[in-house]
Amino acid sequence: MTTTITPLIAGNWKMNGLRGSLEELTELAGMLTTGEAPRAVVVVCPPATILHMIASNGATSGILAGGQDCHAAASGAHTGDVSASMLADAGAQYVIVGHSERRADHGETDEQVRAKAEAAIGAGLKPIICVGETEAERDAGRAEAVVAGQLAGSIPDAAEQHEVIVAYEPIWAIGTGRTPSNEDIGQMHNSIRRQLIERFGDKGATMRILYGGSLKPQNAREILQVENVNGGLVGGASLLAKDFYTIISAV
Beta-ladder partners of 208: none
Paired strand residues for 200: none
Q: Which phi and psi angles does 45 have, rounded to 5°?
A: -110, 90
Q: Where are the beta strands (DSSP E) in the chain?
A: 8-12, 41-45, 63-67, 94-97, 126-131, 165-168, 209-212, 231-234
Residue 116 lies in a domain: yes
Half-sphere exposure of 158 (CA within 13 A, CB side): 19
Closest CA to 96 of 117, 119, 74, 124: 117
Q: Does the residue 2 lie in any domain?
A: no
Asked whether residue 152 is assigned to any structural domain, the reply reads yes
What is the C-alpha separation between 81 and 84, in angstroms, rounded?
10
At 147-196, the pLDDT tens digits run 999 999 999 999 999 999 999 999 988 878 787 999 999 999 999 999 99
Pair 133, 170: CB distance under 8 Å: yes
DSSP summary character for residue 59: G
Q: How many CA atoms lie within 13 A of 225 on its CB side?
A: 8
* Beta carbons of 147 and 131 less than 8 angstroms apart: yes
The reply to whether 227 belongs to the active site is no
What is the CATH classification number for the domain harbouring 173? 3.20.20.70
Residue 136 belongs to some domain of the structure: no
Active site residue 169: yes
Residue 125 has pLDDT above 50, yes or no: yes
pLDDT tier at 2, thresholds 50, 70, 90? very low
Average pLDDT score over residue span 9-21: 97
3-state secondary structure of 218: coil
Q: What's the pLDDT band for 233 if we cut at 50, 70, 90?
A: very high
Q: Counting every residue, how long is the chain?
A: 251
Residue 197 lies in a domain: yes
Average pLDDT over residues 225-235: 97
CA distance 42 to 77: 34
Identity of residue 161: Q
The residue annotated as part of the active site, out of 24, 71, 99, 108, is 99
The verdict on residue 32 lying in a domain is no
Query: What average pLDDT does range 125-137 have in this prediction?
Result: 96
| 131 SS3 class | strand
Q: Has residue 187 been placed in a domain?
A: yes
Containing structural domain, residue 193: 8-20+45-70+81-124+144-249
Among the listed residues 49, 81, 46, the one whose alpha carbon sits nearest the alpha carbon of residue 63: 46
Identify how many contiguous H helices and E strands the chain contains and give both numbers. Answer: 11, 8
Q: Give the number of domains in the chain.
A: 1
Mean pLDDT of the chain: 95
Q: Is residue 58 part of a domain?
A: yes
Q: Which of 101, 108, 133, 169 is catalytic?
A: 169
pLDDT of residue 174: 82
What percentage of residues in the chain have a pLDDT greater than 70? 99
pTM score of the predicted model: 0.96
